[in-house]
Structure 1
Amino acid sequence: WTRRVVIATGVWSVLELPFELWISTSARDALALVTAKLLWLALVGFVLAGHRVARIAYGLLCTIGLIAMAFALPAEYRLFPLGFALTSVECVLKATAFVCLVCAGVESDET
């Protein structure tokens, strides 16, 4: 499950890019979005390749992103309902990925 959820976060990142580009206000914002997505996909690739440091960084970034997005959800619901739906899916995926990573780490320590 961990592998599938990590892949899902990468796929979701690409799927939501057009919506994020749609609301970006400048070329600099659009470039930052594309760069962030490429870095995220690279991190996902390293996690899937089994790099321990990448798994730790991925888990940390999932947690930080989840907390930041969760606090913004009420405002996003009022201002941009489509964004709320997209962000909600991302929150669920990142929370699931974090739980899977932690559970996988506990299982590997027990063996």
Structure 2
Amino acid sequence: MLWQDPFELTRSDRAAGRISTITWNTRRGIYESEELAHERTPSLGTFTLSVVAFTAIWSLCELPLEVLSSRTPLESAACIAGKLIWLCLTLCALSGSRAAKAAFVFCCGVSTFSIATGLAAEQQFFAVGFCLLAVECALKAAAFILIVWPAVRRVVQ
């Protein structure tokens, strides 16, 4: 048999009761099924999108201070390259790519822990730097929680 009817059910489907109702839609002129399409990756909410976007904006606001405090041109270039990579990752995460969201969440988590460990020392020596890093740490922690929390709730339920 060269051609197989796509609507024909196999014996195992019939035995398991997986019979999908397929009907002809005369208005559209197509067959329709009651089966649900595969779930897409859930999109981020408006507040989450705002927090994620604000992490990118904040990192761009910090860039001039980081470049000015760099001791060598190579350090300045590394700061600029790092910010460009962060900006690209943020834009990809905002576009809805599942892999980019995972990478963004990983970078937020790692960055939050690394910043938080140095906040006490920063407060003693450079108060302005402490304020900038505290805001960055809070934004990245919020982005991490806002993206990870719905996924955790779906898994637990």
Gaps of 5+ in 1: none
- 2:132 & 2:68 partners in 1: Cα distance? 13
Task: For 1:54-93, list aligned pairs within 5 A.
Answer: 54-93=100-139
User: Is 1:48 matched up with 2:112?
Assistant: no
Aligned equivalent of 1:24: 70
Higher strand fraction (1 or 2): 2
Q: Larger radius of gyration, structure 1 or 2?
A: 2
Q: TM-score, normalised by structure 1?
A: 0.93
Aligned equivalent of 2:12: none
Aligned equivalent of 1:101: 147
Matched to 2:112, the amino acid is L
Q: Which has the higher contact order (CA 8 A, sep 6+)?
A: 1
Across the aligned residues of Structure 1 and Structure 2, the Cα RMSD in angstroms comes to 1.6
- 1:54 & 1:16 partners in 2: Cα distance? 23
- 1:36 & 1:108 partners in 2: Cα distance? 33
- 1:28 & 1:44 partners in 2: Cα distance? 24
Gaps of 5+ in 2: 1-46
Deviation at 1:105, TM superposition (A): 2.6
Identity over the aligned pairs, expressed in percent?
A: 37
Matched to 1:35, the amino acid is A
Q: Deviations over 1:67-99 (max 9, x none)?
A: 000000011111111100000000100010001
Residues 77 and 92 (structure 1), Cα distance of their counterparts in 2 relative to 1, 3 Å cut: same
Match of 1:34 among 57, 80, 91: 80
Partners of 1:62 and 1:94 within 8 A in 2: yes
